[in-house]
Chain A
Amino acid sequence: MPLSDVAVPPASDVVLSAQGLTRRFATDTGLSTALDAVDIEVRRGQVTGLIGPDGAGKTTFMRLACGLLRADAGTLTVLGMDVATEPQSVQAEVRYMPQRFGLYEDLSVAENLALYADLQGLSPAGRPARYGELMQMTGLAPFMARLAGRLSGGMKQKLGVACALLKPPRLLLLDEPTVGVDPVSRRELWAIVDRMVQDTGTTVLVSTAYLDEAERCAEVIVLHEGRVIGTGKPGSFSAGLAGRTFLVAAPGVQRRALATSLQASAKILDAVIQGDQVRIITATADIPTTATLGLAASSTISPVAPRFEDGFVVHIKESRGPHAGVVDLAMRPVAGGREVVIRTENLERRFGDFHAVRELDLAVRRGEVFGLLGANGAGKSTTFRMLCGLLPPSGGHIEVAGVDLRTAPAEARARIGYMAQRFSLYGNLTVRENLRFFASAYGLSGALRTERIDWALAQFELADHAEAGSESLPLGFKQRLAMAAALMHEPEILFLDEPTSGVDPLARRDFWQRINALAGAGVTVLVTTHFMEEAEYCDRLAIMAAGRVLALGTPAEIKAQTADETGPASSLEEAFIRLATSGAEAA
């Protein structure tokens, strides 16, 4: 499918231009290519999005653009200057906000501003006015004396932007400014950026892993595995898919089962849960019917407008060739009924005078997929660690599989599996060594261990990489390995902490198919995520903010709970924003 924009604006409009830009990094196993002969153009006075999953080369490109890295091949011109030869002049005109916002956490808001004002050569006379303007724009004015480390994630992000904007730049580079930030702050950041572009005509390049943010950009550049797979207006990516995207509803059929069966069909390229329905992309332009899809007559198939993510997924799927189909884990079913297996009552955790989690009541039944949803710092991970017995609660009661894992005998832990954030693995051990270690740690040995390792290598498509060092694996493989390691001992309950952060949409689809298979076998899955749309895949979920549960229930229930005069929330993200704003009004 062609992914290119038709109208090419005049070249004078180009603020940043890269030709054949290549950058490699040395790793233990040789060179890995972060950017592979990339051609990119960024046009003046608009927001351009650099979009792609982790490891696509976004950060490498940002760093190249501001002269922090040198290219191995190709040319890169910024504002008419060659970055390789004049980095200093480029840096005088360009501002860059790195991923962690580049703030000194032990300095106050005002001190951070003063430092960057000094460094950017802002004249002392003009400072008070400029500070006032920026603080008003970001809403940080009341917090000038607060240490940056004490700000919330969203506030830090805004302060980072303010520091970058002290002296209005001609080009602003923002590297993943919205990662892990709550939807309200995300929305506010986009508003700030849009206003700035309007008022000053600054050019902005934003990188993001959230595909839904593409729609907010004037133009997008999509990166995947170090290559540009498309550039143009966001709408152009999915334009070719018109007439191939549908929503399927099948009354009486569980939506997970429906998605799985649809995915198995050769006629369907992609099937994901969306609300109570399943969103599909057909492989051909033929209009699907209940009959061609093998669905019950009561099912409905309604056309829907294609979105950016559809274009992305289709492009990758088509470039990879036919997929193996549905992932099936060959799990042995877990015995037992649908009783409550995870329960917390009035759970509370304090760190000093800070409440990380408070008044948390949860009950998760066997075989359920339960999501904990929230921004960084909302209390998801703290809750998680208390459930796993890694962190003692300050108050309240916990029961997992009938025991409190913190005080229960070690053997009780054999009933749970745990996948930590960032896919924690022993980096310098090979895939097989990692699997063998986790199998042994759970007491497997001999033939049983060999059998489980073989199972993991086969089911998680790791066999080709069994002897590779796990550090050098692509992120998607790490995710599969981490999940396999957590399943070696066939646990009844699986805890997954941010299991999909940073991986590409396809890896996320595979991942959720595996979760579906697990749930089908009766495994209880507790998962945290900050991707709002992923929460749709959960049976039930709890939305957390500032340590409290804002809403609890099935996705449909939560949307209904947040209904206002315009009706129920259209998405969970919308629901979250409504919850957050109504909470702020109440407070």
Chain B
Amino acid sequence: MSDNRRVRGLVRKEFLQILRDPSSIAIAFLMPVFLLLLFGYGLSLDAEHVPLAVVVEKPSAETARFTGMLQQSRYFSPKDFASMRDAELALRTHEVDGIVHLRASFAADLKAQRESGIQVIVNGVDANTARMVQGYLGSVWALWLEQRLQATGQAPVVSIDHRIWYNTAVSSRNYLVPGLIAVIMTLIGALLTALVMAREWERGTMEALMVTPVSMREVLLGKLIPYFVLGMGGMVLSVAMALWLFHVPLRGSAVVLFASAAIFLLAALGMGLAISITARNQFVAGLAAIITTFLPAFMLSGFIFDIASAPVAVQAVTYLVAARYFIAIIQTIFLAGNIWPVILPNAAALLAMAGVFLGIVVARSRKRLD
């Protein structure tokens, strides 16, 4: 029973310290709010009002109908240019991102020729945006064509009816914000533990703790419990912001979401503890925490870049990134629902990671300084 009292004493001490020194509260609560606000608004892959140069060589009713449709689309803000030369200059200076060129033969071509009288040039540097522009233009064109065909009583060979499930508005925020929660919490989990352990070492109090009858397991529990509570607090705040500020739909159950978040947090805190215990030098611990959390969580987790398209070797690396599993879970719970075939294997992977990290922590943390 005295076992319990020691852990309780340590937890109470940690909470008192947290209350006295606002920096860990700042890391646990303010940082997620701040980063989520910044990135929730700042990160978007939805190109809207793309500036587009429109060059109409010979205006007619046909061209007017086409440009009218461009005007109505929320994706474009077309600007008229008198000549291709002006339009190309504008493209080169990034004034516009694409050119729609309706040749003089536009109307004639429609009737007589296979080749289209419409030419589109995009700035291909940002290939992703360029492809979006291309896709949006394709839809405008298809719509325009359909209306024309209906007017002449013809039908296209194939009509495509597309359904984008889970995210009918095709808003990138709906999947970026849940992903951000995972990236941010990875960071916070590792920072909290790495920095807090650092403090204990630097002030020489770890040495004093170690020579009391307390066991290392109790010391670790005494750290893990408060920061787990703190991390879950940050998690609840982030989810609340996702729901009510960014209006991301939550289709699965909140219970499942927080349960998997808890497992993920264990893995993130475990990683932080493992780092700070393995690298006894606290500066190295901080450095390792930063190098191994942020950029991998950003680049290798499927947060923004699709992992499936990477070469196999790089994909193999991504299996080491805890955020990868949590992103799969959190995106699914938010947008699709409680889909167990997705949630369970990823949660199992997270649990295994948490187990490995905490195992390393227990194995490496002896009550010794060497």
The reply to whether A and B meet directly (CB within 8 Å) is yes
Within the complex, what minimum Cβ distance (angstroms) separates B37 from chain A?
A: 30
Closest to A87 in B: B367
Determine whether the beta carbon of A105 is less than 8 Å from that of B13. Answer: no
Q: Tell whether A116 pairs with B369 under 8 Å between CB atoms, given A68-B207, A107-B13.
A: no
B214 at the interface (CB under 8 A from A): yes
CA distance A115 to B17 in the complex (A): 12
* B2-10, B80-88, B267-275, B305-313 - interface stretch: B2-10
* Majority secondary structure, B binding face: helix
Closest to B3 in A: A121
B115 at the interface (CB under 8 A from A): no
Determine whether the beta carbon of B368 is less than 8 Å from that of A115. Answer: no
Closest to A104 in B: B205
Residues of B within 8 A of A114 (CB): 9, 12
Within the complex, what minimum Cβ distance (angstroms) separates A25 from chain B?
A: 8
| Interface residue ranges of A106-153 to B (CB < 8 Å) | 106-107, 111, 114-121, 147
| Interface residue ranges of B197-223 to A (CB < 8 Å) | 203-205, 207-215
CA distance A67 to B20 in the complex (A): 32
Determine whether the beta carbon of A121 is less than 8 Å from that of B2. Answer: yes
Closest to B9 in A: A118
Residues of B within 8 A of A163 (CB): 208
Give the A-B contact count at a CB cut-off of 8 A: 93
Determine whether the beta carbon of A119 is less than 8 Å from that of B369. Answer: no
Pick from A87, A94, A98, A107: contact of B17, CB below 8 A.
Answer: A107
| Interface residue ranges of B1-51 to A (CB < 8 Å) | 2, 5-6, 8-10, 12-13, 16-17, 20-21
Within the complex, what minimum Cβ distance (angstroms) separates B200 from chain A?
A: 9
Within the complex, what minimum Cβ distance (angstroms) separates B214 from chain A?
A: 5
Residues of B within 8 A of A107 (CB): 13, 16-17, 20
Within the complex, what minimum Cβ distance (angstroms) separates B56 from chain A?
A: 69
A63 at the interface (CB under 8 A from B): yes
B370 at the interface (CB under 8 A from A): yes
Residues of A within 8 A of B205 (CB): 102-104
Residues of B within 8 A of A67 (CB): 211, 367-368
Determine whether the beta carbon of A91 is less than 8 Å from that of B369. Answer: no
Q: Tell whether A97 pairs with B208 under 8 Å between CB atoms, given A105-B203, A107-B16.
A: yes
CA distance A115 to B205 in the complex (A): 12
Determine whether the beta carbon of B10 is less than 8 Å from that of A119. Answer: yes
Determine whether the beta carbon of A102 is less than 8 Å from that of B213. Answer: no
Pick from A92, A100, A106, A118: contact of B6, CB below 8 A.
Answer: A118
CA distance A88 to B212 in the complex (A): 9
Q: Tell whether A68 pairs with B368 under 8 Å between CB atoms, given A92-B213, A97-B208.
A: yes
Within the complex, what minimum Cβ distance (angstroms) separates A92 from chain B?
A: 4
Residues of A within 8 A of B12 (CB): 114-115, 118
CA distance A95 to B207 in the complex (A): 12
Closest to B2 in A: A121
Determine whether the beta carbon of A69 is less than 8 Å from that of B368. Answer: yes
A376 at the interface (CB under 8 A from B): no
Within the complex, what minimum Cβ distance (angstroms) separates B348 from chain A?
A: 35
Residues of B within 8 A of A265 (CB): none
Q: Tell whether A96 pairs with B208 under 8 Å between CB atoms, given A121-B2, A121-B6.
A: yes
CA distance A196 to B207 in the complex (A): 24
Determine whether the beta carbon of B369 is less than 8 Å from that of A68. Answer: yes
Closest to A108 in B: B16
CA distance A147 to B16 in the complex (A): 12
Within the complex, what minimum Cβ distance (angstroms) separates A463 from chain B?
A: 33
Q: Tell whether A100 pairs with B203 under 8 Å between CB atoms, given A92-B213, A118-B9.
A: yes
Q: Tell whether A119 pairs with B20 under 8 Å between CB atoms, given A68-B207, A69-B370.
A: no
Determine whether the beta carbon of B207 is less than 8 Å from that of A88. Answer: no
What's the tally of chain B residues with a CB closer than 8 Å to chain A?
28
Pick from B17, B213, B368: contact of A120, CB below 8 A.
Answer: B213
Residues of B within 8 A of A70 (CB): 368, 370
Determine whether the beta carbon of B17 is less than 8 Å from that of A106. Answer: yes
Determine whether the beta carbon of A119 is less than 8 Å from that of B6. Answer: yes
Pick from B9, B204, B211, B370: contact of A115, CB below 8 A.
Answer: B9
Determine whether the beta carbon of B213 is less than 8 Å from that of A111. Answer: no
Interface string of B339-370 (1 = CB under 8 A from A): 00000000000000000000000000001111
CA distance A63 to B12 in the complex (A): 27
CA distance A63 to B369 in the complex (A): 8
Interface string of B88-111 (1 = CB under 8 A from A): 000000000000000000000000
Closest to A66 in B: B211
Pick from B8, B17, B211, B370: contact of A95, CB below 8 A.
Answer: B211
Among A63, A98, A114, A115, residue most surrounded by chain B Cβ atoms (within 10 Å): A115
A459 at the interface (CB under 8 A from B): no
CA distance A106 to B208 in the complex (A): 16
Determine whether the beta carbon of A115 is less than 8 Å from that of B10. Answer: yes
Closest to B200 in A: A104
Pick from A69, A111, A120: contact of B13, CB below 8 A.
Answer: A111
CA distance A94 to B210 in the complex (A): 12
Within the complex, what minimum Cβ distance (angstroms) separates A7 from chain B?
A: 32
Determine whether the beta carbon of A102 is less than 8 Å from that of B204. Answer: yes
Pick from A88, A95, A98, A103: contact of B215, CB below 8 A.
Answer: A88
Determine whether the beta carbon of B13 is less than 8 Å from that of A115. Answer: yes
Interface string of A563-580 (1 = CB under 8 A from B): 000000000000000000
Closest to A90 in B: B211
Residues of A within 8 A of B369 (CB): 63, 68-69
Residues of A within 8 A of B210 (CB): 68, 91
CA distance A94 to B16 in the complex (A): 27
Within the complex, what minimum Cβ distance (angstroms) separates A281 from chain B?
A: 38
Determine whether the beta carbon of A96 is less than 8 Å from that of B211. Answer: yes
| Interface residue ranges of A66-88 to B (CB < 8 Å) | 66-70, 87-88
Residues of B within 8 A of A88 (CB): 213, 215, 367
| Interface residue ranges of B212-251 to A (CB < 8 Å) | 212-215
Within the complex, what minimum Cβ distance (angstroms) separates A81 from chain B?
A: 13
Determine whether the beta carbon of A119 is less than 8 Å from that of B16. Answer: no
Determine whether the beta carbon of B204 is less than 8 Å from that of A91. Answer: no
Determine whether the beta carbon of A98 is less than 8 Å from that of B9. Answer: no
Pick from B2, B9, B203, B367: contact of A68, CB below 8 A.
Answer: B367
Residues of A within 8 A of B16 (CB): 106-107, 111
A99 at the interface (CB under 8 A from B): yes
Residues of A within 8 A of B17 (CB): 104, 106-107
Determine whether the beta carbon of B208 is less than 8 Å from that of A98. Answer: yes
CA distance A66 to B369 in the complex (A): 11
Residues of B within 8 A of A120 (CB): 212-213
Determine whether the beta carbon of B367 is less than 8 Å from that of A98. Answer: no
CA distance A115 to B212 in the complex (A): 11
Pick from A97, A99, A103, A119: contact of B213, CB below 8 A.
Answer: A119
Residues of B within 8 A of A97 (CB): 208
Pick from B208, B214, B367: contact of A102, CB below 8 A.
Answer: B208
Within the complex, what minimum Cβ distance (angstroms) separates A99 from chain B?
A: 7
CA distance A97 to B209 in the complex (A): 10
Among A99, A116, A120, A121, residue most surrounded by chain B Cβ atoms (within 10 Å): A121
Within the complex, what minimum Cβ distance (angstroms) separates B206 from chain A?
A: 9
Residues of B within 8 A of A117 (CB): 9
CA distance A68 to B370 in the complex (A): 8
CA distance A102 to B17 in the complex (A): 15
CA distance A336 to B285 in the complex (A): 54
Among B6, B21, B205, residue most surrounded by chain A Cβ atoms (within 10 Å): B205
CA distance A259 to B20 in the complex (A): 55
CA distance A104 to B211 in the complex (A): 15
Residues of B within 8 A of A115 (CB): 9-10, 12-13
Q: List 6 A-B contacts (CB under 8 A).
A: A70-B368, A91-B213, A101-B208, A106-B16, A119-B9, A119-B213
Chain B residues engaging chain A, CB cutoff 8 angstroms: 2, 5-6, 8-10, 12-13, 16-17, 20-21, 203-205, 207-215, 367-370
Listed from nearest, the 7 A-B pairs whose CB atoms lie closest are A102-B208, A118-B9, A100-B204, A119-B212, A106-B20, A96-B211, A98-B207
Starting from the known contacts A68-B207, A106-B16, 16 additional A-B residue pairs (CB-CB under 8 Å) come to A63-B207, A68-B367, A69-B368, A87-B367, A91-B212, A98-B204, A101-B208, A102-B208, A103-B208, A104-B17, A106-B17, A107-B13, A107-B16, A111-B16, A115-B13, A118-B6
